[in-house]
Structure 1
Amino acid sequence: MTTTPTASGSPGVQDPAAPAGEVPLTQASLMVAEREIVTQVRTKSFIISLVVTLVIVLAGIVVSAVLADREDSGTRVAVVGGAVQEVSGAKALEPVTAPDVTAAEELVRSGDVEAAVVPDAGSPVGLRVIALSDAPSDVVAALSVSPPVDLLDTSTSDDLRYLVSFGFGLVFMMFAMGSGAMIVQNTVQEKQSRIVEILLSAVPARALLAGKVLGNSVLAVGQTAAIAAVAVLGLLLTGQGDLLDLLTAPIVWFVVFFLFGFVLVAALFAAGASLVSRQEDTGSVMMPTMMLVMLPYFVVIFLGDSRLAMTIASYVPFSAPVAMPVRMFMGEAQWWEPLLSLGLLAAAAIVVVALAARIYSRALLRTGSRVPLRQALARD
C-alpha cells in the first residue's frame, strides 16, 4: 500500500497543535467569549442597568449645568470705588461694595462673590477684574469694556479635581466589581452543576479562562466607552466645550487603562472562583480581589490632593487605571509617564493571567472543600 500525501488544511489532516476532538486554543477562546457576551447582553437586567446608568450620567450633567446657569443669573461681584458705576449698569451683575482691593480679594477667596472689579489706572479701560482660579468670562462679557483679569489661584479648581477623581474611581470600581462578581458566580455554578466537565470535554481549561476574561472585558470596556460617549454628548449639549477639551485626552487614556486593568482583575476573580465549589464559599476568595479593586477609589478620594501619593498610585497596577488619567487631567504628568505606567500595567496583567491560568486549569475540576492556593500553584 502507498500513502498519498494530502495538502495542509484538507479534511483528512488533523492539526498537530490540537488534540483529537479539541478545538484550537484561539478559536475556543473566541467561542467562549462570544457565549459570555451573548448570554449577558440578552438578559433584561443587563440592558436595563446600562440604560439607567447612561440616563443618570446624562441627567446629572444636564441638571448640574442648569443649576449653574441659574446661579449665574445674577452674578455677585465685589466692587471698589469708581467701579461701582460701571458694574451697576450691567444687568447680569449684582454689585457688592468693598472698602478696598484687599477686602474685595478676601470676598473672592471666601466664595462670597465670583469676582471683583476694581479701579486700575494702569489699565487702558481703567478697570481690572480679580478672580480665584478661572477667568470669569460672564463677568467680563457683562461689562461694557474688557478689562484684564488677575487670578488669585492659577491651579485647577479643587472641586473639579474631586469630581473627575470620583467619576473615574467610581466607574472603575463599579464595572470591575460587577463583572468580576458575574465571573465568580458563573464559574462556581458551572462547577456545582458539573457543566464544566462538559465544557472541558470540548475546550481546554485555558481557553475557558481566556474566553471568560475576554468576553467580560469587552462588555466592561464597551459600557465604559458608552458612559464616556454620553458624558461627551452631555457636555456638548450644555455648552461646556472648555471642560470637554480638558477631559478628552484623560477619558481616552482612562478607557485604555481600564482595559488592561480589568483583564488583570478579571483573571484574579476567575482564578479565585475556581478554588471553591459552593456559592457560600465565594466571599472568602472574592474579598482580596475586591479590596484591590476598591484601592483606586480610596486613593483618589482620600489622597487625591497629595501629588506624591497620586504619583506612586499611577505606577501601581491596581490604581494606575484611575490615578494616571486624573494626573493627566490635572496637568501633573509628563508625556512619557502614561506610556511607562501602561507598560507596567500590561506586564502585570500578563503575569497575573499566566498565574491565573495555572490555578484555573488545576483547580477547576476539583470539587468538595476549597482548594488551597499553594496546592493549585504547586508543580506536578
Structure 2
Amino acid sequence: MTGVTERDGGSGGFAAATRLVAEREVRTFLRAKGFWIGFGVVLVGLFAMSILPTALGGGTTRVAAVGERAAEALAGTGLEVRAVDDVAAAEALVRSEEVEAAVVPDTAGGSAAGVRVVALADPPTDVVAALRTAPPVDLLDPAEVGQGQRQLVIMVFALVFLMFGMSGTAIAQSTVTEKQTRIVEILVSTVPVRALLAGKIAGHSLLTIGQVVVLAVAAPVALRLGGHAELLALVAPALGWFVPFLVLGFVLLAAVWAVTGSLVSRQEDLGSSTGLVVLLVMAPYFGVMFFSDNATVLTVLSYVPFSSAIAMPVRLFAGEAAVWEPLVAMGLLAGTVVLAVLFAGRVYSGSLLHTGGKLALAKAWSRDE
C-alpha cells in the first residue's frame, strides 16, 4: 500500500486507498484454506437440505378416518389412523394439524372408492399414494406455496444470512491482529483510517457477493436434484430481492463487527466484546425460524433493518407482501447502513490506535477529532 502517500488526500486518494485495502482483504481470504473449507461446507449443506428430505422421507403420517369405508380404504397402508365420529371432527383435527389429512365418505359420489381426502393447504401425496384408488382431494385452506416448500426456503434464507453475518467476525479479527502486531501504525501512516475501514467493508462485501453468486448458480441444481424443480419459478422473485437485502445487511453488520474489533487490542479480549453483535446476527435467524407462521411478527421483522434481509424475502416468496413493502424495507435498511457506517467511521478512528485494554465506546467516540 505504499502507493498511497497522502494521509488525508481528496476523494481520489481516499478511493485509491480504499481500493488497495479491499484488494488486500480479498487476496488474504482467498488464500486461506479455512475460507474455502467453510464455503464448501455451505454448498454441501445446500444440497443436503434439498436432497435428504426427499431421499429419507418423514415419519409415520397421521390420518383421521370417518366411517367404515374410510377405515377399509386405509387398512394395510402403514398410515397411523385415528377414527373419528364425523366429518366436522375430522376437519377440526386437520385444521389443528394433529393429523395431516382426513379420509371421509364421498357424499358427492365422485370417487370409485367411496371416500374423499380432506387436507389443509397442500394435497397429501403420501396419503393419496397409499390408497389403492386415488380419491378426490378437498383443501380447507389452499395455499399458493406448500408448507414444506415454505419451510425449505425459510431455512435456506436464514442459514445463508447466519453464515454471512457471522463471517463478519473476520473483519474484527483482522482489525485486532493488525493492532496486536502494531501493523496498524504503519497502515495509518499511509492510509486514512476511514479508508482502512471502508476498504475492509468493501473487500468482505465483494467476497460475500461472490459467494452469493455461486450459491445462486448452485441452488437450481440442488432443487432439481431434490425433486423441487417447480419451486424455482416460485422462489425466483424472492431470490431477486434476497440478494440485495443480504448484501446491505452484511454491510450493516460488517460496520458493527469493525467497531467491535477496534475497541480491543488482543484476540483474547475479542470474545468478551462480541456478544451484542452475535445477538444481532442470531436474533433475526431464530426470530424468522420460530415465527414463520405468525404473520404479524413476520411483518414487523420484515421492516427491522437487522432482520429484514430474511423476513421480507420470505414474505415475498409466500405472497404475503405488497409490491411497495420491499421498497420501504430496503430504504429503511439502506438508511440504517449509512448511519452505521458513519458511526463506525468515527469510533474506528478514535479507537484504532488504542493499544491498552478494552476501550469504552463513548471514549472512542470522543477521541475522534
How much has 1:160 moved relative to structure 2? 5.1
Q: Equivalent residue for 1:316?
A: 304
Q: Equivalent residue for 2:338?
A: 350
Residues 133 and 154 in structure 1, CA contact (< 8 A), matched pair in contact too: yes
Residues 46-195 of structure 1 correspond to what in structure 2 (within 5 A)? 46-68=35-57, 101-102=87-88, 105=91, 114=101, 116=103, 118-121=105-108, 123=110, 128-136=116-124, 149-155=137-143, 161-177=150-166, 179-195=167-183
Instruction: Provide closer, same or farther for how the CA distance between residues 60 and 17 of structure 1 changes in structure 2, counting only shifts above 3 A.
Output: closer
Which residue identity lines up with residue 20 of structure 2 in the other structure?
M
Q: Secondary structure at the match of 1:35?
A: helix
Q: Which of the residues 233, 237, 245 maps onto 1:257?
A: 245
How much has 1:119 moved relative to structure 2? 2.0
- For 1:65 and 1:32, the matched residues in 2 are separated by 45
How much has 1:144 moved relative to structure 2? 10
Q: Equivalent residue for 2:203?
A: 215
Q: Secondary structure at the match of 1:201?
A: helix
Q: Which of the residues 224, 228, 237 maps onto 1:240?
A: 228
- For 2:296 and 2:168, the matched residues in 1 are separated by 30
How much has 1:139 moved relative to structure 2? 6.7
Correspondence 1:226 to 2:210: no
Instruction: Provide closer, same or farther for how the CA distance between residues 111 and 203 of structure 1 changes in structure 2, counting only shifts above 3 A.
Output: same
Q: Deviations over 1:211-256 (max 9, x none)?
A: 1101111222333443344332111123212333332222332221
- For 2:89 and 2:276, the matched residues in 1 are separated by 53
Correspondence 1:339 to 2:303: no
Q: Equivalent residue for 1:375?
A: 363
Instruction: Provide closer, same or farther for how the CA distance between residues 117 and 95 of structure 1 changes in structure 2, counting only shifts above 3 A.
Output: farther
Q: Which of the residues 35, 51, 55 maps onto 2:24?
A: 35
How much has 1:105 moved relative to structure 2? 4.4
Q: Equivalent residue for 1:12?
A: none
Correspondence 1:286 to 2:274: yes
Residues 105 and 116 in structure 1, CA contact (< 8 A), matched pair in contact too: no
How much has 1:338 moved relative to structure 2? 0.7
How much has 1:58 moved relative to structure 2? 0.6
- For 1:96 and 1:364, the matched residues in 2 are separated by 66
How much has 1:142 moved relative to structure 2? 9.0
Instruction: Provide closer, same or farther for how the CA distance between residues 268 and 84 of structure 1 changes in structure 2, counting only shifts above 3 A.
Output: closer
Gaps (5+ residues) in structure 1?
A: 1-14
- Scaled by the length of structure 1, the TM-score of the pair is 0.79
Q: Deviations over 1:85-108 (max 9, x none)?
A: 9x69xx999897967645664675
Gaps (5+ residues) in structure 2?
A: none
Structure of greater Rg: 1
Q: Secondary structure at the match of 1:251?
A: helix
- For 2:312 and 2:54, the matched residues in 1 are separated by 27
Which one is further off, 229-238 or 119-128? 119-128
Correspondence 1:45 to 2:38: no
Q: Secondary structure at the match of 1:221?
A: helix
Q: Equivalent residue for 1:272?
A: 260
- For 2:187 and 2:207, the matched residues in 1 are separated by 22
Q: What is the percentage of aligned positions where both structures have the same residue?
A: 46
Instruction: Provide closer, same or farther for how the CA distance between residues 120 and 222 of structure 1 changes in structure 2, counting only shifts above 3 A.
Output: farther
Residues 275 and 372 in structure 1, CA contact (< 8 A), matched pair in contact too: yes
Q: Secondary structure at the match of 2:57?
A: helix
Instruction: Provide closer, same or farther for how the CA distance between residues 278 and 124 of structure 1 changes in structure 2, counting only shifts above 3 A.
Output: closer
Q: Secondary structure at the match of 2:108?
A: coil
- For 1:77 and 1:307, the matched residues in 2 are separated by 28
- Scaled by the length of structure 2, the TM-score of the pair is 0.81
Q: Secondary structure at the match of 1:150?
A: strand
How much has 1:53 moved relative to structure 2? 2.1
Q: Equivalent residue for 2:294?
A: 306
- For 1:279 and 1:121, the matched residues in 2 are separated by 72
Which residue identity lines up with residue 197 of structure 1 in the other structure?
E
Correspondence 1:25 to 2:14: yes
Residues 284 and 310 in structure 2, CA contact (< 8 A), matched pair in contact too: yes
- For 2:80 and 2:340, the matched residues in 1 are separated by 61
The alignment's C-alpha RMSD in Å is: 3.8
Instruction: Provide closer, same or farther for how the CA distance between residues 363 and 102 of structure 1 changes in structure 2, counting only shifts above 3 A.
Output: closer
Q: Secondary structure at the match of 1:130?
A: strand
